[in-house]
Amino acid sequence: MDFLQNHGLLGVVGAHDPCKRCGGEIAEKRRKNRSGEWVPILRCTKTGCQSSRTFRSGNAFFQLTDLNERNNSHLTLCQTMELPYLFIADKPIVKTEELMGRAPGTVTTWFETFRNICSEVIAKKPKMLSTKANPIQIDESRFAGCCKYNHGQMLTGDAPPDSEDEDTTVQNKRNHGARVDGPWVFGLHQGNDCRYFVMEKRDKQTLIPIIQRECEPGSLIHSDKWPAYCSLAQVGYVHKMVNHQEHYVDPDTGAHTQGIEWSWLDAKIQILKKKRGVPLHLLQSHLDHYCWQLWRKDEPDQFLAFLDDVRTIFT
């Protein structure tokens, strides 16, 4: 209780609303729960009323409700705080269930709530403003799985060999089997600040509005020579490009996308390899979680940093 109150996740007694039944003053008391433990509660001090409620009552973060708006979490405050700790420690859902002894639905729901908090934090960040020493790098990448040693992998646009002979040996293992496909993700990267967006197309009409929304006018932007980026100079940005067919770093302008290319690799390891892929409708929240981890990686205590973000979102 003291820890949560000191970090602003639970209000102190004087800050709570008066009694909802009679409007009387609220005081901190204790009572035994069904397991015989003494737990703190808020009780009305007016004679004849003495209605009570828990400290978490009215707190949007601790009030996990079902479809009928009833609190069915059955978790103590300590157990509730174990969940974000294991989430920040990047423990898998199955391992968290094993450590806490909770049902899969409980852990999955809470982890989804935590990822949504990361999404809201990333969405509230100010626009990116670059300098010559720290430019903004942009790129797009397809988040699609691959088969081991490319066995049974067919690239999009290719077709399996047309042969009626069942004994025909296929030499090219990349052009037969299941079609490889996946969503496109557009990213912006500047130091520890990265922002990813799932999109259906990577054309000019899709990418330019995202760049204008996330970057301050006049910022220096580095990219490859994808045609959708060619009009960035016309909309108020300093744009430098690198041709990856010739150089990793442009020898004349110094433009490169090494930072975001490394970030792509790290994000795909976290999401596609360690988690073995995620559903498409949850991909954006997992990307936001990765962006939050990269942004907060220099914090001395990421758990306390996450609690600060929880307080910012829910208070």
The model's pLDDT over 148-186, given as tens digits with 9 standing for 90+, comes to: 555 555 555 555 555 454 544 545 554 555 555 678 999
Q: Taking the CA atoms of 71, 77, 81 and 82 in sequence, report the sign of the dihedral they define.
A: negative
- Around Cβ 258, how many Cβ atoms within 10 Å? 13
Coil, helix or strand for 263? helix
Residue 168 has a pLDDT of 47
Helices (H), the chain: 2-6, 77-88, 93-100, 104-123, 204-214, 258-268, 283-295, 302-314
CA pair distance 35, 127, nearest whole angstrom: 51
Angle at 211 between CA 246 and CA 140, to 5 degrees: 45
Residue 154 has a pLDDT of 52
258, 266 Cβ separation under 8 angstroms: no
CA pair distance 172, 150, nearest whole angstrom: 10
On whether the pTM is more than 0.75, the answer is yes
Residue 72 has a pLDDT of 59
The answer for residues whose C-beta is within 8 angstroms of residue 254's C-beta and 6 or more apart is 240
Give me the tens of pLDDT residue by residue for the chain, a chain 315 residues long. Answer: 888 888 888 766 555 667 777 777 777 777 777 777 777 777 777 777 877 777 776 677 776 665 555 555 677 788 888 999 999 999 999 999 999 888 888 889 899 999 999 999 999 999 999 888 899 999 999 887 655 555 555 555 555 555 454 544 545 554 555 555 678 999 999 999 999 999 988 899 999 999 999 999 999 999 999 999 999 999 999 999 999 888 899 998 889 999 999 999 999 998 988 888 888 899 999 999 999 999 999 999 999 999 999 988 877
Domains of the chain: 1-59 (no CATH), 136-160+170-314 (3.30.420.10)
Strands 52-54 and 193-199: unpaired
Tell me the backbone φ, ψ of residue 38, rounded to 5 degrees.
-85, 125
Helices (H), 139-282: 204-214, 258-268
The answer for residues whose C-beta is within 8 angstroms of residue 130's C-beta and 6 or more apart is 136, 190, 215, 219, 220, 221
The answer for residues whose C-beta is within 8 angstroms of residue 81's C-beta and 6 or more apart is 3, 4
